[in-house]
A = this chain, B = another copy of it.
Amino acid sequence: MAKLDDYRFYVQQVLERYGQLKPAYGDLERQLLFDPTRDHYQLVTVGWQQQQRVYGCVVHVDIKDGQIWIQHDTTETGVANDLVALGVPKADIVLAFHAPYKRPHTGFGVGKEQLGQHAA
């Protein structure tokens, strides 16, 4: 559990840092949604740019089965790399936006429990 508490702290820390990067244009708000009960963590952009509605997820990370699942990531650096820099082993990070059959080739974790469902 201590490991998972560390992971929760790291994930929130990384998302808070991206949340502080304000878009240079438009009337845009960055919102953090942290749900530690369900272990879902998200950063969203909401607002307006030249009368156009802007709504989009920047990063979405889950913690499940002892691993950190990157469900969605639009950052340049890659949240996975930020987490590795904080000391999280690559095997404990799943790039969930890659299909399960590709994950063994990412150098990151595989997320075993879903492998059967998607294997070709």
Binds B, one of A2-10, A51-59, A83-91, A104-112: A51-59
Contact of A71 with B46 in the complex, beta carbons under 8 Å: yes
How many angstroms between the C-alpha atoms of A57 and B60 in the bound complex? 11
Contact of B97 with A48 in the complex, beta carbons under 8 Å: no
With beta carbons under 8 angstroms apart, the residue of B32, B44, B72 that contacts A60 is B44
Contact of A33 with B32 in the complex, beta carbons under 8 Å: no
A34 within 8 Å of B by Cβ? yes
The residues in A between 80 and 120 inclusive whose CB is less than 8 angstroms from any CB of B are 96-97, 99, 117-118
A and B contact pairs by CB, cutoff 8 A, 5 listed: A33-B38, A34-B37, A51-B99, A55-B71, A57-B57
